[in-house]
Chain A
Amino acid sequence: MTDDIQGRAPLRRRALAAAILASGALTAAQPAAAASVTIGAILPLSGLFSTLGPPERDAMQMSIQKINEAGGFQVAGQSYTLTLKVLDDESNAATVGISDYRQLVGVDHVPVLIMTDSTRAYASMFRRFPVPVLNILDSTWPSILDVDPNLFLLRSDTPAYVPGGVWYLKNVLHADRIAFIGSAADPYSGGIEHWVQQAAAAYGVTITADLNYPAGTTNFSPFIESAMAGKPDAIYLGGVTQEVLPVAKQLYQAGIRNLPIVHDSGATPTQAEQIIGPSLYNDVMANNYDFAGTLPQTSTSPATQAFYKSFGQSYNEYPDDLTMWAYDAPYVVIAAMQKAGTVTDQSAIYKAMLTMPVPPQTISGWIPTSSGALFHERDARTLAEGTRWCTATKTIAPAFLYFLDGLKFTHQDVVANGCAGQ
């Protein structure tokens, strides 16, 4: 379960040599050996949310390795390397996750903790063992930021991207009637459901059916049947990848093959192939549209493009939105520590995070506040992106880039021929 990334020995010597040379004086006050700072992460490496944990861990390891190989980082004149300690919550916050939290915060005393799912379950723990928390992904409605003031979210919250899917259905796919099928087991789905309802009311779309299947459902036929009874033009699915794709597969197997299927799970082609099956997935995904955060492949920034290529090569995984935010998380931690001038004082690090600017080495494309801060009331924001499936190349391509202020678009860019650019 534990996954330690240590700075390698040659690095320490290199950092030491560099520090001695840099100091110039022969009588240094103390030897500038690179100590290691360990930050903690609780990730779902297994279980229902296991499509999230491994890519996040890999992306964080990638940037940490890059940072350490370049000599680490400096805080208040001292050199450090960064170490990440990852514990698996097995997608089970109340049982495994909570004991992981106790370990990392209560025993290991990490200065910063990184999390990604089921945040609400930890409410009591945040009060008993407080620590600054960077959450990579957990967008819900109501927001997790209401749970505890020590939480920061590295991506735009649910209301910032879900309405885009409804708008696209109405105005690009010309679907006026949608059926919603969501997972009662998952607050992510519940948040999507709420904002689909809000957006439908605002953009003039009728919701013909609003269904939620209970936890542990493997046979969706009653829900599919109820959804189709109202003769919708499209189907909106709520939940994460491992909830959404099995429903999409059963829709296809039930003969429903020419309705748009819209969701917000951020599924990658690799996951589609594994969950739906190699012989079926290309056909099942043909009518899929997925609305979440921006993908690295659509970015015009060279650094982001470089990340897209090297992540795909190194990890044989499709780099999507969450890999960018995870990759950037260590940079946020380091920048906060540098601003605060400490690697251990949690309170100072927290205050620094509240007002820190967007760190220059980050690739997520975070849009700063009007005063130049990274976090808009503890939420870091990017553009939102809708993608479509390309059957010729069996992969995803951009369809819609946008930014929402409430239910109004301040940026709206429909990409007509995303597949052609591959």
Chain B
Amino acid sequence: MTRGGLTYPALCVLGILLFLALQYSNAFYSGIIASILIWTVAVSGLNVVAGLGGYPSLMQGGFYGIGAYASTLALNDGLALPLAILAAIAVAAIAGLLVGLAFARTRGQYFAIGTLFFGVVVNLVLTNGASLTGGPLGLSVPLAFASTADLNIAIAASAAAAMMLVHAIGRSRIGRHLTALREDEDYAEHLGVPTGRMKLLGFTISAGFGGFAGFLIAQYNGAISPDLFNYTVGFVMFVALSLGGAARLAGPLLGSALIVGVPDLLNLPSGAGMLLVGIVFVVVIIIAPDGLIGAAQSLAARLRARPAPAR
């Protein structure tokens, strides 16, 4: 993550532009933009553990779901909006902490598979805990904002804030430790990096972002069901990150825009949309492992005849 000084103001301007787009385009386009921005929040969170930390979590969809249900249940119980948001972030973060503890010694592809199965377990619990979660048909979500304009402000601001936060984390001590972890975990440990704690922290932060995104989608959609949060969603969020470019600031935004925007704009039924995503993903992962932004950066570097910038 580079270009220090301009980043925050640029993101603020972006936030304002996104709000205007949300508020003034028609219901079809604003729906697509809202989905992209909410995904950006979740995928930016994923960027912390998977992009910075190099731990491929396939269960961000699970934390997304936990946050959605926690906030909805809180609102249905009569709690105020700030408490509902807190519930979403806290419950998801605690779940992240627990999963992180369970997988403290798990690495690489086993970590990926383990998180995949945890995502399945979350979905199973949401589907079958009918008395609490409403079962497969899910729950209806009361609008906690005073108006849809307020909701749009929240969504646009959240997307910009998420990227700012991840940028800040990336440049902080936590971010540097996570990067060291990604490059070579054993060596980092040897150098005195508290790898265990950093992993746990990174995973918890990621989960918290996912939970907050879940609160947003619950509010925007007006209804939630376990299907919105199955293991495919967790996988596709990882796809979005990889496609856009892991460890890149705008990677989550670009990836989400492609994954969510393209099938919706083309009005594809879900099957054809997922087919397209699957094909594009396999191709990109093979050809451009650093995602589209990474590929663009490498290309730019090569054109400038300078060595590629160290991440």
Residues of A near B148 (CB, < 8 A) are: 128
Q: Is B221 an interface residue (CB 8 A)?
A: yes
Q: Is B98 an interface residue (CB 8 A)?
A: no
Residues of B near A184 (CB, < 8 A) are: 128, 130, 135-136
State which size class the interface on A falls in.
Answer: 20 to 34
Q: Are A187 and B137 in contact (CB under 8 A)?
A: yes
Q: Is B179 an interface residue (CB 8 A)?
A: no
Q: Is A219 an interface residue (CB 8 A)?
A: no
Q: Is B225 an interface residue (CB 8 A)?
A: yes
What DSSP secondary structure best describes chain B's contact surface? Answer: helix
Residues of B near A187 (CB, < 8 A) are: 137
Within 8 A of B (CB), among A116-137: 118, 120-125, 127-128
Residues of B near A98 (CB, < 8 A) are: 221-223
Within 8 A of A (CB), among B252-267: 264, 267
Q: Are A1 and B227 in contact (CB under 8 A)?
A: no
Name the one of A1, A92, A185 contacting B135, with C-beta atoms under 8 angstroms: A185
Name the one of B28, B141, B227, B264 contacting A124, with C-beta atoms under 8 angstroms: B141
Residues of A near B227 (CB, < 8 A) are: 92, 94-95
What DSSP secondary structure best describes chain A's contact surface? Answer: helix
Interface segment among A101-109, A172-180, A376-384: the answer is: A101-109
Name the one of B27, B142, B223 contacting A121, with C-beta atoms under 8 angstroms: B223
Q: Are A90 and B270 in contact (CB under 8 A)?
A: yes
Name the one of B27, B135, B225 contacting A106, with C-beta atoms under 8 angstroms: B27
Residues of A near B205 (CB, < 8 A) are: none
**Nearest CB in chain B: distance from A236 CB, A:** 20
Q: Is B91 an interface residue (CB 8 A)?
A: no
Within 8 A of B (CB), among A77-108: 88, 90, 92-96, 98-99, 102-103, 106-107
Residues of A that sit less than 8 Å from B by CB: 1-2, 46, 88, 90, 92-96, 98-99, 102-103, 106-107, 118, 120-125, 127-128, 184-187, 214-216
Given A125-B223, A184-B130, 17 additional A-B pairs, CB 8 A: A46-B269, A90-B269, A92-B225, A94-B221, A95-B225, A95-B227, A99-B264, A102-B31, A107-B28, A121-B137, A121-B138, A127-B143, A128-B148, A186-B136, A186-B137, A214-B127, A215-B135
What are some 23 contacts across the A-B interface (CB < 8 A)?
A: A1-B269, A46-B271, A90-B269, A92-B227, A92-B270, A93-B137, A93-B223, A96-B270, A98-B221, A98-B223, A102-B28, A106-B28, A107-B28, A120-B137, A123-B140, A124-B141, A128-B143, A128-B148, A185-B136, A185-B137, A215-B127, A215-B128, A215-B135
Closest 3 CB pairs of A and B: A124-B222, A106-B27, A94-B225
